[in-house]
Amino acid sequence: MFRPFPSLAARRFTPGLALWLPLALPLCGCELLRSAGMGPRADVSSAAGEESRAASLRPIPKPRDAFVVEVLFVERPAGDPLLGSELWSELAQPGELPATTRDLLEENGFRLGTCGSTAPRALQVLLARSVHEVLAVRSGESGDAPQTTLMSHRVALQSHGETELQTSPVYPACSIAIRSGGAARERRFEQARCLFRVTAERVQDGWVRLEFSPEVHHGELKTRHVAGNGGFVLKSTQEVAPFPVQRFAVTLNLGEMVVLSADPDRPDSLGRHFFIGAGEDEPLQRLIVIRLADMKRTDPIYSR
């Protein structure tokens, strides 16, 4: 399961971001990698240690239907122009998304778009600026730099497997307006956290379908019967409020990305609670980039 988005006191930079820095290189140059301590360097002791570990711990073979997704969290002040209309105008709408689903997601404050393995310029600028600000904080030279957080994950999945992607902090109490066809229905939750249940399906070599089901987990942790691989098992969980009407899916080719965030002008919406929060004096907006990073080829077996 993905770890929840870090709090403001959490680390602002993780080594996994080296996987994403090539998206920003056209704008910030290789010097950024070196200044972050992630550029290429000759380190004999490190290389020897890697060889020793490789000799003692052989890698576990991946299943034939396994693939890897990378997830990058970016957090910046809500209303930041880098998260605004220019970014979303350069991202494509998933062609497989029905118009009714797209309208419903927009009505409930969600924003999403896709792009190829080469990120559009607005996304490159966003990542490059965020990396520079995080490095400035690390070096003590932040000055008037805005609040910026970066965090990344790399997760291996199998076809028909699922994982949880938590996007919000825990709200002691919150009221969310669920909209459909112009009408709104308010739901109140306590000890609530917002997450996507992400189900993955391998379509064919090089292609994966990701289905995102928004859920709010709320209330006290209790021991409940939940569905497992071999039937129902006892597990400590919160109550789950699913929103199946807002469920959506995207199909990605190897290297392609899907970008998710919220519309800051939709107060009390489901999307705002997922990606911005409610009630803060200076709210921060989260943006998530998910990339299909690696995929094992399943060559057919021929027989005579």
State which H helix or E strand residue 107 sits in.
helix 99-107
Maximum average pLDDT range among 18-32, 143-157, 176-190: 176-190
- Average pLDDT in the chain: 80
- Strand blocks (E) in 159-206: 162-166, 171-180, 183-204
pTM score: 0.79
**CA pair distance 284, 275, nearest whole angstrom:** 8
Share of the chain residues as helix, strand and coil, in percent rounded to the nearest 5? 25, 40, 35
How far, in Å, are 58, 78, 108, 110, 286 from residue 265 at the CA level? 51, 10, 11, 11, 14
* Predicted confidence (pLDDT) per residue in 125-178, tens digit: 999 999 888 888 887 776 676 788 888 888 888 888 899 999 999 999 999 999
Query: Torsions phi, psi of 203, nearest 5?
Result: -85, -50
- In this predicted structure, the answer to whether residue 196 has a pLDDT above a threshold of 70 is yes
Among residues 129, 85, 88, 73, the alpha carbon closest in space to that of 274 is found at 73
Sorted by sequence, the CB contacts under 8 Å of residue 87 that are 6+ apart come out as 120, 122, 123, 126, 259
* Predicted confidence (pLDDT) per residue in 230-284, tens digit: 666 777 789 999 999 999 999 999 999 999 999 999 989 999 999 997 655 678 9
Average pLDDT of span 109-128: 94
Give the total residue count for the chain: 304
State which H helix or E strand residue 18 sits in.
none
Type of residue found at 142: S
Q: Tokens 């995102």 identify what position?
A: 212
Name which of 60-74, 91-105, 196-210 the model is least confident about. 60-74
SS3 state of residue 14: coil
Cβ contact 219:205 at 8 Å: no
Instruction: Considering only residues 43 and 276, tell me which one the structure prediction assigns the higher pLDDT.
Output: 276
Give the pLDDT band (50/70/90) at residue 8: very low
DSSP 57: S
Cβ contact 116:255 at 8 Å: yes
Maximum average pLDDT range among 8-12, 58-62, 172-176, 204-208: 172-176
